[in-house]
Amino acid sequence: MRTVSAKLKHIGTSLSSSSRPYSLTPLASSHGKPRNPPSPTLLNEFVNFCYKRDLPKAMNAMAAMERHGIYADSITYSDLIKCCLARNAVEQGKLVHKHVFSNGYQPKTFLINILISMYVKFKLLDEAQALFDQMPERNVVSWTTMISAYANAKLSDKALEFFVLMLREGVLPNMFTFSSVLRACNGLFNVRQLHCGMVKLGLESDVFVRSALIDVYSKLDELKDAICVFNEMETKDLVVWNSIIGGLAQNSDGDEALDQFKRMKRAGFTADQATLTSVLRACTGLALLEVGRQVHVHVLKFDVDLILNNALLDMYCKSGSLEDAKSVFERMVHKDVISWSTMIAGLAQNGFSQEALKLFDLMKASGIKPNYITILGILFACSHAGLVDDGLYYFRSMKRLYGIDPGREHYGCIIDLLGRAGKVDEAVSLVQEMECEPDAVTWRTLLGACKVHRNVDLAIYAAKQVLKLDPEDAGTYVLLSNIYANSQRWEDVSEIRRQMREKGITKEPGCSWIEVNKQIHAFIVGDTAHPEINEINRWLNQLIHKLMGIGYAPDTNFVLQDLEGEQRDDSLWYHSEKLAIVFGLMSLSSGSVIRIRKNLRICGDCHTFAKLVVKMECRVIVIRDPIRYHHFQNGVCSCGDYW
């Protein structure tokens, strides 16, 4: 890639002057002549068969024509090649290739380009390049076809190399060339060079080029550049709007994605499937159920669109609205492996593990083969329901039954399953037998199990492994400090806190979001910024005293252990989810579900608090943390206190 990048430095020069041509072995340039006068009847029959897409008869007629040295025009052969592609007739396509070069006949560049495109669509890149290498003349279509093929095949270096060779041969790229080569860019330097080349050629205002630029800047997480390219356009079409909305949604900037969607609507554009898919992704990331329901109304216009329905299903699952998700799933006419996997994972993450396993059985009965994600959802269901035997069975048989090799995520689920069940030694053995190196997530999973089951020595070892792989992980520093404190190892506590100070590491503050009247309200621990914070704190204090009357006591295991007792109680009182719950009680009608999203896993104290609140207030609370969803109702949680 470094070599290609160096070559791309000279794009500006190459665009303005040609250098030595690409050295390849060309075909003979002489055009052969038919040995016999053309037979109008045979030729007409061939043309008619090609037009009617009658492949067997067309192939027979073509063989007869070859024996007589008769050739049709390029458009007719183009129709025949389209017919081969439609039927995935690879061998027949190769026969067409052989025919048009038989008897010394030299097809036009137009037809050779179509043959190259045919091989590309058949995923026969070696054959495509072999034919490309033999061309006596290559135009911008020839080069763009190959560049696009390599970009689509994720052979980025090859695509960029061909782009440089194209410039050396003196062929100027067009809008489609730039759109294709941009997809091959994995680094910002190359994108910048290509962007300059587009400006020099006057193509920067082209809608396809702009859209490709926005896509690649978004892919590289350079949202400022993407927005800059978008804003520079005087006139925008739906493709460009979709690019910027999609880029923002993919980079977890859901708020800006939704703002751009509103601007698009005000500009008079009607959302299509691509727009709505991106908007639903934005709603999913922000857990904006009410906004997602509004988008659902637009989705009804495209009711049979599978990708769109899958995005809608994912949004409802990740917003914790299982009733809506089940309704969408049951109504879907067509379901693919993504549909089934999304619903299975949604049930598992929302605490309905047995339903997830039953749905998995229905999926297999329907003939849909599970994939990597499906099995991950099943293992998650087993892990979060304590189904040790089931989880181990699915894990041990996934390769034999479904041909799926276990990945880190699958190992992580089983390590979590064994750890939660108290089988810490077995979890350690599984870490040791992993074919891939354990990552920080794997060690964090083991650390969590050690913490629950108070295996201090192993917890310390796992924590140190996490910090080797992720030295900035504040949560592990805090957990390790607490482990030392619980073991009265105060010197070690001081050392951990010293390391945190020296490295400038602070624990990420807990933040919770709640949607009220289509507006998002954010809370952090000990919040003082919310305009109604004084009233919220008054409600919270009254509520906590009521709960203490029925047995609630703050669990100080979830704060730093070197705080004084009363200070520890106070820090727990004002956790962000407690503030959000109280604001929901204040602001939402008694029949409304209080839905909260968190950036950190819910602590045990807040989990107990939420169970007691729903019991005393007769409410329903759904809290989504980074790991799973907790549905609190009638004094219990859907996780069964197993999280």
Measure the CA–CA gap between 476 and 604, rounded to whole angstroms.
17
Give residue-wise pLDDT tens across range 319-335. 889 999 999 999 998 99
- The mean predicted confidence, pLDDT, of the chain is 87
Measure the CA–CA gap between 334 and 614, rounded to whole angstroms.
38
By the 8 A CB rule, do 186 and 1 touch?
A: yes
Measure the CA–CA gap between 181 and 151, rounded to whole angstroms.
7
- Residue 559's pLDDT band, with cuts at 50, 70 and 90, is low
Segment 496-503 mean pLDDT: 89
pLDDT over 80 at 40, yes or no: no
Backbone angles phi, psi at 34, to 5 degrees: -60, 140
Q: Which helix (H) or strand (E) holds 615?
A: helix 604-617
- Residue 3's pLDDT band, with cuts at 50, 70 and 90, is low
Backbone angles phi, psi at 512, to 5 degrees: -130, 145
Q: Higher model confidence: residue 594 or residue 559?
A: 594
Q: How far is CA 545 from CA 378, 538, 552, in A?
A: 41, 11, 9
- Residue 190's pLDDT band, with cuts at 50, 70 and 90, is confident
pLDDT over 60 at 568, yes or no: no
End-to-end Cα, the chain, rounded Å: 45
Amino acid at 22: Y
pLDDT over 70 at 566, yes or no: no
- Residue 125's pLDDT band, with cuts at 50, 70 and 90, is very high
Give residue-wise pLDDT tens across range 220-236. 889 899 998 898 887 78
Measure the CA–CA gap between 146 and 150, rounded to whole angstroms.
6
pLDDT over 50 at 88, yes or no: yes
Q: Return the percentage of the chain with pLDDT > 70, whole number.
A: 91
Segment 482-508 mean pLDDT: 85
Segment 125-132 mean pLDDT: 96
pLDDT at 465: 93
The sign of the torsion formed by the CA atoms of 559, 560, 565, 571 equals: negative
pLDDT at 641: 78
By the 8 A CB rule, do 384 and 407 touch?
A: no
pTM flag (> 0.85): no
pLDDT at 563: 40
Measure the CA–CA gap between 174 and 70, rounded to whole angstroms.
36
pLDDT at 18: 42
- Residue 631's pLDDT band, with cuts at 50, 70 and 90, is very high
Q: Is 224 exposed, middle or buried (0-12, 13-18, 19+ CB in 10 A)?
A: exposed
pLDDT over 60 at 562, yes or no: no
Measure the CA–CA gap between 64 and 204, rounded to whole angstroms.
50
Rg (CA), the chain: 31
140-152 and 125-133 helices cross at what angle (nearest 10)?
Answer: 160
Q: Higher model confidence: residue 539 or residue 604?
A: 539
Q: How far is CA 58 from CA 49, 55, 99, in A?
A: 5, 5, 12
- Residue 643's pLDDT band, with cuts at 50, 70 and 90, is low
Give residue-wise pLDDT tens across range 337-377. 999 999 999 999 998 999 999 999 999 999 999 999 999 99
pLDDT over 90 at 603, yes or no: no
Segment 263-268 mean pLDDT: 92
- Residue 193's pLDDT band, with cuts at 50, 70 and 90, is confident
pLDDT at 81: 95
CA proximity to 320, closest of 633, 585, 612: 633
By the 8 A CB rule, do 439 and 408 touch?
A: yes
Segment 414-434 mean pLDDT: 91
pLDDT at 273: 92
Q: The tokens of 85 are what?
A: 């592609």
Segment 295-317 mean pLDDT: 90
pLDDT at 26: 37
- Residue 22's pLDDT band, with cuts at 50, 70 and 90, is very low
Q: The tokens of 50 are what?
A: 């090609």
pLDDT over 80 at 28, yes or no: no
Least confident of 14-28, 228-242, 301-315, 390-404: 14-28
Least confident of 175-184, 285-294, 576-585: 285-294
Measure the CA–CA gap between 76 and 100, rounded to whole angstroms.
12
pLDDT at 380: 94
Q: SS3 for 329-350, per residue? A: HHHCCCCCHHHHHHHHHHHHHC
- Residue 41's pLDDT band, with cuts at 50, 70 and 90, is confident
CA proximity to 287, closest of 314, 259, 323, 257: 314
To 5 degrees, how large is the angle CA 459–CA 461–CA 464?
105
Burial of 299-335, coded b for 16+ CB within 10 Å and e otherwise, reads: beebeebbebbbbbbbbbbbbbbbebbbebbeebeeb
The sign of the torsion formed by the CA atoms of 380, 383, 384, 390 equals: positive
Q: SS3 for 279-313, per residue? A: HHHHHHHHCCHHHHHHHHHHHHHHCCCHHHHHHHH
Measure the CA–CA gap between 102 and 321, rounded to whole angstroms.
64
Using the 8-state DSSP alphabet, how is residue 629 labeled?
E
Q: Higher model confidence: residue 2 or residue 619?
A: 619
Q: How far is CA 80 from the centre of its chain?
A: 38
pLDDT at 626: 85
CA proximity to 7, closest of 136, 148, 159, 133: 159
